[in-house]
């Protein structure tokens, strides 16, 4: 299998949205709804706790092809060549970078309320207050169903702070993206690496993306869980979703407590380690298990946790790893530091990132074999390029590669990788 996962081109044949979903490739970003319009495609919450597209009418071939071309389930690519700076360094694991550093939001409240060190929150505020963009598109808790996540536009500091903190679970941040372009106003986007991939894919077809979406910021991602993960947390406390007034996954400290509040004034808390201690209950979506770009290779800036060994040993003041990948991203970091919005306290190297994000190293090394296992099992696999996965596979022995192939094939046989045709959850 080549890095394109598509040696003879047959895998890029005409496929439908439903096939993307049932083959376990959909991450629920929502861009297909935005491209087609809600009259043809709608994102819905499924009984399995996933945001997935359903089609109301058959799509014509031109539209189907356009959706396939932008879908981050079928197309996963590295930083576009024209955005690779001549002074950038290139690392097999961590990709293209102009700067890697440890830092945090200069304002204590922003640092406290944002996840980890509040870097993405601070940059969002800085972009607005420095007039570099008119608004920031990201996600926030649904005001009526706070366990869930919805697209959110920020125009002010208060807007950004209302949305601060990690959101674990399904989200469709791109389901209104074409409408944002139609505004004709400069903006920034903050989302998962797969969301950034979708936007970069769209930029190849729509020149307005590079013209108007001035900054693409992301997090180094551990995977997106299904909403069933959150439902199980409620079950443990004997609660129902209808009772909630707050479900804060993370923030207000590093890593911060998961906090739940109810209409009748009760409150419940979990530590980060308690929330994620049982890996069998992480409910990570299938697409995440074959993610070739969980580190935000194609973003302008990626922000990460920097816990030694990859996990927290307790609460701390909050620090982020900052990877500036493009000249645009580096200029933003440097301006935010110069104007007092960010503090950089340590320069880092790719090998330091290996130490604080070891699971990302292991995933990068394993992805090629997992995709090959899927291909051999007869599943659709995405086209992948510019992400070094074929080189990194050679870090694994033949036996280790085979174990990764066998593991993913077993999931396919047991029905744990693909998904049923999506239907709307009726509750």
Where do the structural domains in the chain lie, given as residue ranges?
81-220+292-359, 227-281
The residues pairing with 154 across neighbouring beta strands, listed in sequence order, are 136
Residue pair 66/202 in contact (Cβ under 8 Å)? The answer is: no
pLDDT at 387 exceeding the cut of 50: yes
**Mind giving me the DSSP string for 339-363?**
TTSEEEEEE--HHHHHHH-HHHHHH
Q: Find the mean pLDDT for residues 105-118.
A: 96
pLDDT tens-digit map of 77-86: 999 999 999 9
The pair of three-digit structure tokens given for residue 204, joined into one six-digit string? 């190849």
Q: Please tell me the predicted confidence (pLDDT) of residue 4.
A: 44
**Tens-digit pLDDT profile for residues 364-383:** 999 999 999 999 999 999 99
118 contact partners, CB below 8 Å, separation of at least 6: 104, 105, 107, 110, 111, 112, 164, 318, 320
- In tens, the pLDDT along 245-274 reads 999 999 999 999 999 999 999 999 999 999
Neighbour-count burial for 342-364, b at 16+ CB within 10 Å, e otherwise = bbbeeebebebbeebbeebbebb
Per the rule left: phi > 0, alpha: psi between -120 and 50, beta: everything else, 49 is left
Residue 191 gets the label, from left (phi > 0), alpha (psi -120 to 50) or beta, of beta
pLDDT one-digit tens code per residue, 135-194: 999 999 999 999 999 999 999 999 999 999 999 999 999 999 999 999 999 999 999 999
Predicted pLDDT at 21? 97
φ and ψ of 51, to 5 deg:
-80, 120
End-to-end CA distance of the chain: 43
DSSP strand pairing (99-105 vs 342-347): antiparallel
What lies within 8 Å, CB to CB, of 203 at 6+ separation is 80, 209, 210, 213
Tell me which residue of 219, 235, 248 sits closest to 281, measured CA to CA. Answer: 235
Q: Is there a cis peptide before residue 255, judged by omega within 30 degrees of 0?
A: yes
Round the average pLDDT of the chain to a whole number and report it.
95
Q: With 60 as the cut, is the pLDDT of residue 92 above it?
A: yes
In this structure, whether the domain defined by 81-220+292-359 belongs to CATH 3.40.640 is answered with yes
Can you give the pLDDT at residue 279?
A: 84
């Amino acid at each position: 299998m080549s890095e394109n996962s598509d040696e003879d081109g047959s895998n890029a044949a005409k496929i439908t949205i439903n096939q993307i979903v049932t083959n376990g490739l959909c991450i629920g970003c929502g861009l297909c709804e935005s491209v087609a319009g809600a009259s043809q495609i709608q994102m819905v919450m499924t009984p399995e706790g996933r945001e997935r597209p359903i089609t109301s009418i058959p799509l014509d071939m031109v539209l189907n092809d356009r959706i396939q071309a932008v879908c981050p389930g079928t197309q996963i690519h590295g930083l576009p060549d024209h955005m690779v700076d001549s002074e950038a360094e290139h690392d097999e694991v961590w990709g293209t970078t102009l700067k890697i550093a440890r830092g945090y939001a200069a304002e204590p409240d922003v640092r406290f309320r944002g996840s980890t060190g509040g870097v993405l929150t601070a940059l969002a505020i800085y972009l607005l207050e420095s007039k570099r963009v008119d608004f920031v598109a990201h996600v926030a808790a649904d005001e009526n169903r706070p366990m869930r996540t919805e697209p959110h536009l920020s125009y002010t500091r208060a807007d950004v702070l209302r949305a601060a903190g990690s959101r674990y679970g399904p989200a469709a941040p791109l389901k209104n993206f074409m409408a944002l372009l139609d505004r004709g106003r400069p903006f920034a986007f903050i989302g998962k690496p797969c969301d950034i991939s979708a936007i970069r894919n769209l930029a190849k077809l729509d020149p307005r993306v590079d013209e108007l979406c001035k900054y693409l910021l992301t997090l180094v991602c551990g995977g997106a869980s299904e909403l069933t993960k959150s439902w199980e947390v409620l079950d443990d406390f004997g609660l129902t979703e209808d009772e909630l007034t707050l479900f804060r996954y993370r923030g207000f400290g590093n890593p911060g407590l998961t906090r739940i509040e109810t209409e009748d004034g009760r409150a419940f808390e979990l530590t980060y380690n308690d929330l994620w201690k049982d890996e069998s209950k992480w409910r990570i979506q299938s697409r995440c298990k074959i993610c070739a770009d969980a580190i935000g290779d194609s973003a302008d800036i990626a922000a990460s946790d920097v816990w030694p060994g990859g996990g927290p040993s307790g609460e701390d003041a909050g620090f982020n790893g900052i990877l500036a990948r493009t000249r645009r991203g580096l200029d933003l970091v440097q301006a935010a530091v110069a104007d007092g919005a960010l503090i950089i306290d340590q320069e880092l190297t790719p090998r330091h990132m290996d130490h604080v994000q070891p699971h990302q190293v292991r995933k990068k090394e394993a992805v090629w074999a997992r995709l090959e296992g899927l291909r051999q099992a007869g599943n659709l696999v995405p086209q992948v390029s510019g992400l070094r996965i074929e080189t990194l596979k050679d870090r694994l022995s033949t036996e280790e590669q085979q174990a990764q192939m066998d593991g993913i094939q077993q999931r396919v046989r047991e029905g744990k990788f693909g998904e049923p045709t999506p239907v709307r959850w009726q509750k």
